[in-house]
Structure 1
């Protein structure tokens, strides 16, 4: 799979849908209200993250901060997985998503809330074709290590939430990303890419801390989690399709 400029690779990923899109042009993110994720993950309660949680709580009409924390987490996890997994699947490449180079706007929604000025990719040997194991490792570093682990700590400072809930969210968001990407690949004749998406997702779900968060069906593909994102506690909310409570009811 030939290497392409990262802006071109991210452009291909954006064709899947707005959730897979990230702003890439040069500019001055801070002047437009964006903050680098390094500030989101700082010690104590990040003002940007605290503001997002309060905004979501108000919009959903819930007084339970842990519910808003969980849903903010799941939304961010889904966005981070999408802008990393799609390039890996479609172009055999994973963008550099360092917390100091990826910017977030706490008041904007998809796809206007993420900005990656001057996107790059990790240096590779000329002609190297990354294996599924290589891509899994890069995805772990780009999403799990650089973002989801520090995001877990940062959100826990806003309001305590069970680690089982948050890692279940991360796994659920990954499979949700897969389902959209897999459907797009299958529907546009990219059958090898569709299978690659399943393979990479299965590998990621088999790594700590995602391992044992639920049961993955690679054929559907589908996921049954062993926790709940707490959306059922939102006024008028219900149970998600992969929720442990849905299976308990049955």
Structure 2
């Protein structure tokens, strides 16, 4: 099952796919994607993000893959919906996309063993966690201006139930900018897979329903300019569309 959230006629509605359109679950109303304002597919709790979690991406940045998960936190202000705008500050030289598989925790747990880790996953979605190289102080500790700006992380449009994703560790990721393929990879190339990340995080803190883990991006990041349409797609999960706007947004 796929589910998401939209704003339509002054209210928030749960939605699901209906062919090339969407259906509001409560009323059954069918609408085109462009008739609604998309929201993040649910209200998330703690947002975890991974740096350098694909060896090829670490290599393109001239870094070695980390010896343990490189995790940082993000604020809820960073999230924005499908077909939204993300601002590019006027003073930056290099702002790049990052297509990522996002893991939604569905069952609480602490010290979760690897063998049971995926039992705690409710579903999966797509995130595009933009970064601005100009603001980066240290790749191993991304600072607030890199990863915690308003609307810097489009997410959605759908959460796909974990039961409908037989192997989350073998999905294709593709990013296009204005229709040109700029990034391709597979989730199997993560340095630390989903089970390892859940085991690691839960070894020192409780994971709770609604927590979100952004699992990193493969190589191929490219500079995104004002007006660019960036599409991040993950096989079997969703196609996430976003446009770069001149910042700041109103």
Q: Which structure dedicates a bigger proportion of its chain to helix? A: 1
Larger relative contact order (C-alpha < 8 A, sep ≥ 6)? Answer: 2
* Greater strand fraction, Structure 1 or Structure 2: 2
